[in-house]
Amino acid sequence: MKKIIGIWVLFCIAFSVKAQQVRLGFGPELLVPAGNSSNISSIGGGLAARAEVQVSGQFGLTGQIAYNHFIGRKYLGLRSDNLKYIPVKLGLKYYTDPKFYLEGNVGANLPQNNTEATSLAWSIGFGSQLGGRNADQFLDMGMRYEGWTKDKLMNVNGKYVTFGFIAFRLTYNFNL
């Protein structure tokens, strides 16, 4: 955990030295498993910390670290294990106008249950910044589809399988 926090701090410092505008955001996420993932968990929640460095008028580089907790499903009176993960991702954000954006991220998903290997984390989504991205402080509402792909995450006939979910996010953002 200390290594993850250290990497996050270094990422923020490295970008803030050369960047014209750096934003940080923190907030809760509601996680709704999709497809076969809903057989493992019906709902989850998390807390996310995000950083964005504006590289041009319409593009920003992003970094995110989160703590995600999925509640195990109950079958025949027995509840499956809760799943806990720390996804760390980097990405690109494209602003279609000052308040609306599209974004994509890729990174690693670090399981905290000690039963699985690290998996590839990827996501694509959109959002809106209430107050506009040029405000010093604003709320950011977003939605994304996120997948964690690993052959041993949920192995079915030796094929790669993705644990997928839809995430709803509300973060408080501020400029540095």
What pTM was computed for the model? 0.81
State mean pLDDT over 85-96. 96
Residue 79: its pLDDT value, please? 81
Cα 165 from Cα 156, distance rounded (Å): 18
146 near 162, Cβ under 8 Å?
A: no
pLDDT, mean over the chain: 85
At 18-58, the pLDDT tens digits run 546 899 999 999 999 998 888 888 999 999 999 999 998 89
Structural domains for the chain? 2-175 (2.40.160.20)
